């Protein structure tokens, strides 16, 4: 079954500029700013289980 995908910015709300594409598999933030920097989590789950990956985003 197709998994449900969820994106979270750890400790904060996702930016209003965040867009989910490809059934939630791609998180895009256009025109990033310093506040977008931080740790993000992507969680996918369905009837067969769950997978979680963490990403640390640096804005330079």
| CA proximity to 1, closest of 49, 59, 60, 56 | 49
The per-residue pLDDT for range 1-60, each reduced to its tens digit, is 889 999 999 999 999 999 999 989 999 999 999 999 999 999 999 999 999 999 999 999
Q: Give the DSSP letter of residue 23.
A: T
Q: Domains of the chain: which residue ranges?
A: 4-57
| CA proximity to 10, closest of 60, 58, 56, 59 | 56
CA distance 49 to 19: 25
* Residue 1: predicted pLDDT: 84
Query: β-strand 4-9 against 38-46: which pairing, if any?
Result: antiparallel
CA distance 10 to 55: 10
**Top-level class of domain 4-57:** mainly beta
């Amino acid at each position: 079954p197709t998994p449900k995908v969820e994106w979270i910015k750890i400790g904060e709300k996702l930016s209003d500029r965040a867009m989910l594409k490809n059934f939630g598999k791609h998180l895009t933030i256009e025109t990033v700013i310093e506040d977008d920097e931080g740790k993000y989590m992507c969680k996918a789950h369905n009837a067969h289980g769950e997978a979680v990956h963490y990403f640390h985003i640096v804005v330079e």
